[in-house]
Amino acid sequence: MASRCWRWWGWSAWPRTRPPPAGSTPSFRHHLSTQEKTPQICVVGSGPAGFYTAQHLLKRVETLCSQPRVLNSPPLSQPHQLPPCSQQHPQAHVDIYEKQPVPFGLVRFGVAPDHPEVKNVINTFTQTAHSGRCAFWGNVEVGRDVTVPELREAYHAVVLSYGAEDHRALEIPGEELPGVCSARAFVGWYNGLPENRELEPDLSCDTAVILGQGNVALDVARILLTPPEHLERTDITKAALGVLRQSRVKTVWLVGRRGPLQVAFTIKELREMIQLPGARPILDPADFLGLQDKIKEVPRPRKRLTELLLRTATEKPGPEEAARWASASRAWGLRFFRSPQQVLPSPDGRRAAGVRLAVTRLEGVGEATRAVPTGDMEDLPCGLVLSSVGYKSRPVDPSVPFDSKLGVIPNVEGRVMDVPGLYCSGWVKRGPTGVIATTMTDSFLTGQMLLQDLKAGLLPSGPRPGYAAIQALLSSRGVRPVSFSDWEKLDAEEVARGQGTGKPREKLVDPQEMLRLLGH
């Protein structure tokens, strides 16, 4: 009887689903004896997108609706034949899977250590994880430890919220040289992302060049130039702080293809750079000629940002600011209208020694403005090159459609195209843009689409085993998940280690050490 349960809801041949190899997975059959109508929902990824999606679903999810099924009667051919219902279902359950042993994704591994206020959202996520209808399962890599088809077989709906785990390549000669790395890897290194813990950037040079002019680029520049004693009370990793204390970097250039009106950073991050202790800005007034008239028609946030740039570049600083800049031992600058063409090697060819830039000019107006080369070139000497031209998502499983060019899962308002019951939210849905609040809105929208499908009877209506089935699979494959209570033990260990040096925490960066501490 139990095995028939998998077939009668009519989606036994969802597109792109492949059965597991014979003998490779334990049967789900014995998990299906329950007649409970609990909607079982799975979220892949525990960053802002994952937790906000879970939060919305737990607050709003409604009961699965199904007609009583008479044994041995013909299967329903269309899921939408099931009547919708509006009764609140307090037992709807959400499982969140995460490949790292620790939760919170970009909040833990992407937000700069000197921005602790941004990390306060972790308190909200913790409340969600403490719900009796939510469970966190870390140390589980979807696509390796368990497949998406296996998740879809165990849950009524699956939401992919795993973010952007890669960076966009420069695709220029010399990119592979030592001394070149992505800003994403650099951020992961100082924030304790396990895969970047052995990066060991060489900061023995005088000048660093960051290719890109977004918030990540400004974060990296700020961390490079901030006096180390100002970082000692943050959650920056011990190893990163040690390297930064020995840094000889005095000048950081941030290079952009277009002009001041097109920068991607926000006014808060710019203001922090202008006020950075021990550092002064270098802006060429010629880059801002005629800008005063152009900013009259732009939206207010862009106008305020550009006005601050304009004042910094063209106006005489006040006495206090002038004195601070005069005594500064470090500097940062914005190089506009420059496009990287090549990373230049040192004379022995063993590492990066500069960047060759094409001088550009702008064509078009508004959002269509693009940079085109003028034919002129210039070389910018440096010993460290950090590419900050965007993050990029990776495909998670062959069964999931993926647009490699855009780096997203093709979807309509969060519904994955051609795969009923599969959804996406966050950067893997829309691309790596926006701030945490943007992701919150985006994730709530995906959650709303899932709820609409649930109410309309468009999701499987029979019982689903949820984590019980996945736990059996993981156990058979030697994978030991980390629960949220396990994470709280690691959290307590990090806080205890930080107390001795006055830090909020000393992050654990080695997954094997984390598992050992938990007795896994």
> The CATH number of 40-62+91-165+394-482 is which of 3.30.70.100, 3.40.50.720, 3.30.450.20, 3.40.50.300?
3.40.50.720
Of the ranges 16-20, 172-176, 267-271, 278-282, which one carries the lowest mean pLDDT score? 16-20
Angle at 417 between CA 415 and CA 418, to 5 degrees: 120
> How far, in Å, CA of 378 to CA of 19, rounded?
56
18 is in an annotated binding site: no
215 is in an annotated binding site: yes
Q: Across residues 486-501, what is the average pLDDT?
A: 97
**Does the pLDDT of residue 255 top 60, yes or no?**
yes
50 is in an annotated binding site: no
Q: Tell me: the pLDDT tens digits for 59-114?
A: 875 434 433 333 333 333 333 333 344 344 446 899 999 999 999 999 999 999 99
- State the pLDDT at residue 4: 29
Which residues contact residue 381 at a Cβ distance below 8 angstroms, ignoring those fewer than 6 apart? 207, 353, 354
**Does the pLDDT of residue 234 top 70, yes or no?**
yes
436 is in an annotated binding site: yes
Q: Which CATH class is domain 169-389?
A: alpha beta
CA-to-CA separations, 7 to 420, 458, 460, 463, in angstroms, rounded = 15, 15, 10, 12
49 is in an annotated binding site: yes
pTM of the model: 0.86
pLDDT above 90 as % of the chain: 82
411 is in an annotated binding site: no
Q: Across residues 308-320, what is the average pLDDT?
A: 95
Q: Across residues 397-406, what is the average pLDDT?
A: 95
Mean pLDDT across the chain, nearest whole number? 88
**Does the pLDDT of residue 390 top 60, yes or no?**
yes
- State the pLDDT at residue 44: 98
Task: Annotate 394-423 with b (16+ C-beta within 10 A) or e (fewer).
Answer: eebbebbbbeeeebbbbbeebbbeebbbbb
- The residues of the chain that CATH labels 3.40.50.720 are 40-62+91-165+394-482
189 is in an annotated binding site: no
258 is in an annotated binding site: yes
Q: Across residues 436-460, what is the average pLDDT?
A: 94
106 is in an annotated binding site: yes
98 is in an annotated binding site: yes
447 is in an annotated binding site: no
- State the pLDDT at residue 18: 36
- State the pLDDT at residue 36: 54
pLDDT band at 461 (very low <50, low <70, confident <90, very high): confident
Which residues contact residue 315 at a Cβ distance below 8 angstroms, ignoring those fewer than 6 apart? none
pLDDT above 70 as % of the chain: 87
- The residues of the chain that CATH labels 3.50.50.60 are 169-389
- State the pLDDT at residue 91: 67
